[in-house]
Amino acid sequence: MNMNQQIRGTFSKRFLSAFAVTLLFSAGGSISAVANVPVVNDVYNVSEQLQAITIKGKVTDTKGEAIIGASILEKGTSNGAITDLNGRFTLTVKAKASLVISCIGYKTSTVAVGSSPTLAIELAEDTKTLDEVVVTAMGIKKEKKALGYSVQDIKSDELLKNKNTNVINSLNGKIAGVNVTQSGGGAGSGASIVIRGGTSLERDNQPLFVIDGMIYDNGTDVGGNSSFDGAMRTNSTYSNRVMDINPEDVESMSVLKGPAAAALYGSKAAAGVVIITTKKGEEGNVKVGFSSKFSTSWVNRYPEQQNKYKRGYYNTAGGLDEYTLQSWGEKFGADEKVYNNTEDFFQNSGTWDNSVNVSGGNKNSNFYLSASRYDQDGVIPETGYLKNTFRFNGEQKYGKFTAGANVAYSVASAEKSLTSGGLYNSGGSGAMVSAYRWPSSENMSHWLNEDGTKYRMFEGLQQLDDDVDNPYWIVNKNKVNDKTTRFTGTINLKLDVCDWFNIAYTGGTDRYTTNTRRLLEPGSGVELLYQKGMLSEDDRTYEYFSSNLMMNFKKTFGDFDFNLLLGNTIEDTKSSSNGRKAWNFVAPNFFAITNTAETDRSISQSNSRKRLIGGYGEFRAGYKNIFYATVTGRNDWTSTLPTDNQSYFYPSVGGSFVFTELIPRNSILSFGKVRASWAKVGKDTDPYVTNTYLDNPIITILGTSGFQNAWTRGNAYLKPEITKSIEYGLELRFFNGRLGIDYTYYSNRSYNQLLSPRTSQATGYIFMKTNAGDINNKGMELSISGTPIKTKDFSWDMTLNLSGNRGKVNNLLQGLEVLYVTDVQVGNAKAASFNKGNFMAISGSKYARDEEGNMILNWDTGMPTSDGLTTYEIGNREPKFLGGFNNSLQYKNWNISFLLDFRVGGDVYNGTDYFLTSIGMSKRSLDRESITTTGVAKNPATGEYEKKTYTIKDKYKIQEYWGTYYSYESANYMTKTNWLRLRSVSLSYSLPRTILKKTKFIKDMSATITGTNLLLWTNYKGMDPETSAAGSGVSGSSSVGIDYCGVPATAGMSFGVNITF
C-alpha cells in the first residue's frame, strides 16, 4: 500500500475541515502495515543480525490509553517502528539495545531492551509542548496560555527556509493578520508590513521593531535635497532599514499584533510590535557555522505591451507625424524588425549571500559572533545592493548578576537610478518609464553615438529638456547611490536580588548615517538649469538612545501566582540632514560639488529631536493553570505635544481561561482556552508641529530678504492620537497537539487622528495640524497548524494562516471627505481614504452616465464625457482576506518545504497600463482600427438625449480616445485582484550524522535548493500585483495596490550550503 498515494487521495477529497482526523487515522493504519515489513538495514553486519531480538510492545499514556503513532527507534540507528491504532508495535533489534520512544505531546522515554520480547511502555504527557513560551512586550517570556491576546512567533529555522535579506519578507504568509508588500524587484528595494490594518490616517502604520530590548528604526529614507532633484518615493527604489539586520542572526521573531499585546511599548504600539531576539551562544564546544548561497533571479512578469504598431503620432489635422516617441504609427511590415526592448533591457540578477558565525559558551558565559556579506546585482543593468554585517552578542554571569551586550555594525549600499522622472521639468528621466514606453520599432540599445556622445532621436529638432532619455542613458549616466552605515548596541544588566525579585536594565543606541548621491551627467534631458550636470548629496543621520529599567516581582500564594512589573523608559531621538547641491560643472567629466561656481550651489539643513519618558507597570495573576489576568498601565511624557497635553496615561486589561483544565483529559481535545483583552494606547506626534514656522527667506526687489509663514499652521492644542482595541480569541488543540486552531476577532478604533488636512484657504493656510478622524478596523484571524503525518522516517507539518481586515474611516472634518497620500497619483487615480468609506480606497473619475447607467456621449464626436470630478471612490485596495499555507515535509534527511500564499479581493490600479495606453504601447491600445461607443447623446437640435452608437475610425480620434477619454473612467484600469502564489519551495538534504561522524570535525552539513515566486496564478494582467508605487515608507493608506512603472518583481532560484564545525 502506498502511503503517499493514500494521503494525497484523501487530501484532495476532503480538504481542511476533516483532514486532520482522517489523515491521522489513515496514516496510523498504514504505518502499522509498514512496521510489519522486516527492516533491512545495510549498516548491520550479519553477525549482529544473528543476535537480534524481536520485540512486541504497547505504548500507553499515564491513564493506560493507547498512544497511536508513537515512534520507536533503536538508539543510535535508523531502525524503528510506529505504533498502530492499538498502540502496538513490533521491532527487531540487537540484544541489549535501547529504544527511544517519542510522540508529540509526550515526554520522550528511553527503555533498555531486556530479555523479555514484550514491553509495556508508558509515556508521560509533556505539558511543555502545550505550555509554549513566547516573547511578549518588553522581552518578557510568558506562557502562551496565560495571554489574553494573540501572539505568533517564528523561529530561526523557519525564517531561513526562504531566507530573504529583508526579514520582513520572511513573515509573508506565515503569520495571520500580517500584510507584507514587497515594493518591486529592484536591488535593495524595501517591503512594507502592516498588521491588522492601519491605525493612522496620515502617518506611519508599520509596527514597531524591537531588537534585543531596543526599538530599532525601520524608516525608509528617500534622501536627497527635496523633490527637485528627484527625491520622491515614486521615483526610485528605497530600502527599509530593517534590511540592515542579518537574518542569520535572528533567533526568533515574535509578532505582537495589536495594542493589547503591545501596550507596554506605548506611543508607537498601536500598529503592533515585531520583537526580534538575536542568537546566543550555547553551552558546550565552540561551534563554527558557515553558510553560502548563490541565487539568480529574473523578472517574473512584464507589463503587457503591443508590438504590432510602430512609432508615430496622428496630429490634429489627421496626418501621421514621426516626431514623437509614442506608438500610434503604421503597422509593422513583414520584414521589419520588431525590437523586444523591455525584456532585452532587464538582465538576470545574481546574488552571493555568505555568512559565518562562531558561538560557544559555558555555564557562566556565552558568546555569538557573526559576519555576513550579501552582494546582489539587480535585474536592471548597473544597479546593485551590497550589505556587510557584523554582530557580537555576549553574556557573563557573576553569581546573581548577569551582564550582556549585543553589538551590531552594518554597511549597506545601493546603486540605482530613477525609475520615473518628470522631476527636473523634463520629458522623462526615469529608466522604467522609458523602458516600458520605448517603441518596438526603435532599437533602444542604441543610446550612444559611435563617438561616445549621447544619441538623440530628435537631434536638432527639439530642446534638450524635451528629450525622453533612453533608459540605458539613465542607468549609466544618472546614478543614484546611497550608503547606510549603522551601529546598534545594547547593554543588558540583570540582578536576581532574590528568587522573587529581579531588576533588569537595558540601555541601547541605534545610530546610522545614510549618504545619498544623485548625479545628472551633462547632456541629460532635464531642465535648462541642470543641463550642464547636477550633483546632489545628502547626509542623513539618525541617532536614538533608550534606557529601560524594569523591576520584576513574583510570588506564589497557594494556587495563586502573582507577577508585578514596574518600569521606566527614556527615549531620545535625533535626526539631522545636511544636503548640498551644485550644477554647471566647470571641468568636463569631473563630477564634484567643488567643481562649480559658487553661485551654482545650494545647501539645505534640517534637524529634529524628540524625547519621551514613560513609566509603566504590569500586574499578572494566575489561578492554578486555569485563570489568568493581566492589567497594564503606562504614562508617557512626550516632548512633541503641547505642554498641557504632553502627559497621557493608557491602560490595558486582559485574561484567559483554560477550560480544558476543568474537563476530564481525553485523547481528542487536549487543550482549550478562551481569551479576551481590552486596551488603549496613545500615540504622540512628530516634532515641531505645535508652532507655525516660516518658509526660507524670500528675496524681494529691494535686494533684501524677508519672511512668510509656511503653508502649514501649527497647533498649540494638539492631543495624542488614541487607539482603543478589543480582542477575543479561542485556542484549541487536538490529539495531543497534532492539530491546533487559533482564532481571533478584534475591533480597533483609532481616534483623535493627528492630521494636517487641507483646510479652507481662508484660514490663511493650506494645511492645519489638527486632531480629527477615526479609523475603525475589524477583522478575524485564523491559524490552523497540524502534523497530519508523523512516522519514523516521514513527517509533514503544516500551518494555514487566514486573515481579513476591514478598515473604515469616520468623523473627518466637515467639508473634508477624502484624504490623499501625497506621493501616490497616477492619472486621475490616487491612493485615498474616504470619510464614511474605506481607509485603503482609490479615488478617481467616472464617465458621465444618465440615470439608467448609459454613458453620456458627446453628440459630435461620440466620445465619453466626464463631469471632471476626480474624487469618486472607485475601489478599495484592502484584500477581502489573505493568508498563507506553509508546509514542511521531512523524509529521513530530505526536507521539502513550500509556502503558498494567497490573496482574495482588493483592487489594484494598473497605472502602468494607463500610461502605456495613453502613448499607444499597451496591449489594450491595439484596438485602434475602429472603436465603438454606445450610450446616449444630447441632440443639439432637440435638446433631448437619444440612444446612439458611434463607430469611430478616424486615427486621430482613436488616439485621443485612448489618450484622454478612456481614462475618464479610472476604474477601466482597475482589477479586483486574486492571487495564489508559490512564494517559496525548497528542497534540502542534510548529511546523515553517521557519515559526518567519520569526518570528526563537521557537526552538521546541509544543502538547499530554493525557488522563490516560481508560480503565480492571478487574474491581474499587469506586472506582479504585489506592488506599491511609492515603496515601503509611505504613510497613511500607503501606495499598496497602485502599480505605476516600478521595477518588476522577480522570481528566482538559489542554491545554498550550510556547514557547522
Partner 1 sequence: MKKILYLSLSIILLLSLNACSDYLDINDNPNNPNSTVPTPDQRLMVIQTNFVDSYESSGTRACWFTGNMAKTYGTTTNDKNVKWAPVSGTTTWPYQAWFIYTADNLEPLIEKATAEEAWHYVGAAKLIHAWGFMTMVDMYGEMPYTEALTEKITPKYDDGQTIFNGCMAMLDEAIKYLEMSQPATATKLSSGDIWNNGDVTKWIKLAYGLKARWLNNLSKKKAYDPDAVLAALDKAAQSNNDNTVMNYINVNDTKQAALRALQHQNLSSTTSRVTKWYLDLLTNTFTGGSGIEDPRTDLLVPSGQYRENGILKYVRTKGVDILNSDIRKNSGPIAYNINSRSQDMLGHKFYDENGNPSVLDIWYTSSKVTARLGDSIYTPIYSEHLSWVTNGDDRYMASNYNGKTNQIISTGTFYTRADAPGHLLCYPEICFIKAEALFRKGDKAGALTAYKAGIRAHMELMNEKLTKYDQSQFGKQVIPTAAIDNFLASAAVAQTSAQLTMAKIMQQKFIACSYSIKIGTT
By CB under 8 A, tell whether 942 contacts partner 1: no
Where b means 16+ CB within 10 Å and e means fewer, 558-585 reads eeebebbbebebebbbbbebebbbbbbb
Assign 3-class secondary structure to 737-794: HCEEEEEEEEEEEEECCEECCECCHHHCCCEECEECCEEEEEEEEEEEEEEEEECCCE
Question: What count of other Cβ atoms lies within 10 Å of the Cβ of residue 9?
Answer: 11
Report the residue number, 531 or 777, with the smaller CB distance to partner 1.
Answer: 531
Question: If you ran DSSP here, which 8-state letter would residue 470 be given?
Answer: -
By CB under 8 A, tell whether 491 contacts partner 1: no
Q: Can you tell me which of 52, 411, 741, 766 binds partner 1, judged by CB under 8 A? A: 766
- CA–CA separation, 632 and 35 (whole Å): 54
By CB under 8 A, tell whether 608 contacts partner 1: yes
Residue list 701-730, contact with partner 1 (CB under 8 A): 701-702, 704-709, 711, 713-714
Please check whether residue 526 is in contact with residue 429, taking contact to mean a CB–CB distance below 8 angstroms.
yes
Q: Can you tell me which of 429, 516, 536, 759 binds partner 1, judged by CB under 8 A? A: 759
By CB under 8 A, tell whether 43 contacts partner 1: no
Q: Can you tell me which of 90, 568, 811, 871 binds partner 1, judged by CB under 8 A? A: 568
Residue list 530-549, contact with partner 1 (CB under 8 A): 532, 549
- CA–CA separation, 734 and 732 (whole Å): 7
By CB under 8 A, tell whether 1019 contacts partner 1: no
Report the residue number, 85 or 869, with the smaller CB distance to partner 1.
Answer: 869
By CB under 8 A, tell whether 611 contacts partner 1: yes
Shortest distance, position 860 Cβ to partner 1, whole Å:
11
- CA–CA separation, 255 and 416 (whole Å): 32
Q: Provide the β-strand partners of residue 808.
A: 776, 838
Report the residue number, 158 or 600, with the smaller CB distance to partner 1.
Answer: 600
- CA–CA separation, 216 and 843 (whole Å): 34
- CA–CA separation, 619 and 630 (whole Å): 6
The CA angle 487-492-493, to the nearest 5 degrees, is 150
By CB under 8 A, tell whether 4 contacts partner 1: no
Question: Which cell numbers hold the place of 675?
Answer: 481569551
- Give, for 994, the enclosing helix (H) or strand (E): helix 993-999
The 3-state DSSP class for residue 698 equals strand
Please check whether residue 354 is in contact with residue 291, taking contact to mean a CB–CB distance below 8 angstroms.
yes
Report the residue number, 145 or 532, with the smaller CB distance to partner 1.
Answer: 532
> In terms of Cα–Cα distance, which of 517, 535, 523 is closest to 594?
535
Report the residue number, 549 or 726, with the smaller CB distance to partner 1.
Answer: 549
Shortest distance, position 707 Cβ to partner 1, whole Å:
4
Where do the DSSP E strands lie in 811-922? 818-826, 829-834, 841-844, 856-857, 872-876, 881-891, 894-904, 907-910
- CA–CA separation, 651 and 634 (whole Å): 6
Q: Which stretch binds partner 1 (CB under 8 A): 265-273, 354-362, 417-425, 813-821?
A: 813-821
Residue list 235-294, contact with partner 1 (CB under 8 A): none
Residue list 438-467, contact with partner 1 (CB under 8 A): 460-463, 466
Report the residue number, 551 or 676, with the smaller CB distance to partner 1.
Answer: 551
Sheet bearing 208-211, strands edge to edge: 151-155, 250-256, 273-278, 208-211, 214-216
> In terms of Cα–Cα distance, which of 370, 407, 406 is closest to 289?
370
By CB under 8 A, tell whether 917 contacts partner 1: no
- CA–CA separation, 836 and 693 (whole Å): 33
Shortest distance, position 854 Cβ to partner 1, whole Å:
25
Report the residue number, 107 or 601, with the smaller CB distance to partner 1.
Answer: 601
Residue given cell 496560555 in the structure block: 145
Shortest distance, position 762 Cβ to partner 1, whole Å:
4
Question: What count of other Cβ atoms lies within 10 Å of the Cβ of residue 307?
Answer: 18
Shortest distance, position 223 Cβ to partner 1, whole Å:
17
Residue list 617-636, contact with partner 1 (CB under 8 A): 635
Please check whether residue 1011 is in contact with residue 1055, taking contact to mean a CB–CB distance below 8 angstroms.
no
CA-CA distances (angstroms) from residue 315 to 205, 309, 465, 952, 1012? Answer: 47, 17, 22, 16, 47
Shortest distance, position 919 Cβ to partner 1, whole Å:
17
Q: Which stretch binds partner 1 (CB under 8 A): 219-227, 763-771, 793-801, 874-882?
A: 763-771
Q: Can you tell me which of 45, 605, 663, 852 binds partner 1, judged by CB under 8 A? A: 605
Shortest distance, position 456 Cβ to partner 1, whole Å:
13
Residue list 832-891, contact with partner 1 (CB under 8 A): 868
- CA–CA separation, 417 and 431 (whole Å): 7
Residue given cell 513609566 in the structure block: 615
Shortest distance, position 469 Cβ to partner 1, whole Å:
17
- Give, for 477, the enclosing helix (H) or strand (E): helix 471-477
Report the residue number, 757 or 1041, with the smaller CB distance to partner 1.
Answer: 757
Q: Can you tell me which of 45, 762, 852, 1000 binds partner 1, judged by CB under 8 A? A: 762
Shortest distance, position 610 Cβ to partner 1, whole Å:
8
- CA–CA separation, 1001 and 606 (whole Å): 55
Sheet bearing 1042-1043, strands edge to edge: 974-976, 907-910, 1042-1043
Q: Which stretch binds partner 1 (CB under 8 A): 283-291, 412-420, 490-498, 555-563?
A: 490-498
Report the residue number, 114 or 706, with the smaller CB distance to partner 1.
Answer: 706
Residue list 14-33, contact with partner 1 (CB under 8 A): none
Q: Which stretch binds partner 1 (CB under 8 A): 26-34, 254-262, 471-479, 603-611?
A: 603-611
Q: Which stretch binds partner 1 (CB under 8 A): 138-146, 259-267, 471-479, 755-763?
A: 755-763
Shortest distance, position 333 Cβ to partner 1, whole Å:
22
Shortest distance, position 638 Cβ to partner 1, whole Å:
7
Question: DSSP alpha helices (H): ranges in 819-920?
Answer: 911-918
By CB under 8 A, tell whether 820 contacts partner 1: no
**What is the x/- site pattern for partner 1, positions 51-80, by CB under 8 A?**
------------------------------
Residue list 319-348, contact with partner 1 (CB under 8 A): 319, 323
Q: Can you tell me which of 227, 666, 760, 810 binds partner 1, judged by CB under 8 A? A: 760
Q: Can you tell me which of 619, 623, 688, 751 binds partner 1, judged by CB under 8 A? A: 688
Q: Can you tell me which of 227, 607, 932, 999 binds partner 1, judged by CB under 8 A? A: 607
Q: Can you tell me which of 698, 995, 1009, 1015 binds partner 1, judged by CB under 8 A? A: 698
Residue list 575-594, contact with partner 1 (CB under 8 A): 584
Residue list 492-531, contact with partner 1 (CB under 8 A): 495, 497-498, 501, 503, 528-529
Phi, psi of 363 (to 5 degrees): -60, -40
Shortest distance, position 516 Cβ to partner 1, whole Å:
19
- CA–CA separation, 319 and 330 (whole Å): 12
**For residue 1017, how far is the Cα from the chain centroid?**
20
Report the residue number, 606 or 930, with the smaller CB distance to partner 1.
Answer: 606
The 3-state DSSP class for residue 235 equals helix
By CB under 8 A, tell whether 597 contacts partner 1: no
By CB under 8 A, tell whether 971 contacts partner 1: no
| Binding-residue total with partner 1 (CB under 8 A) | 79
Please check whether residue 454 is in contact with residue 464, taking contact to mean a CB–CB distance below 8 angstroms.
no
**What is the x/- site pattern for partner 1, positions 283-322, by CB under 8 A?**
--------------------------------xxx-x---
Report the residue number, 528 or 1015, with the smaller CB distance to partner 1.
Answer: 528
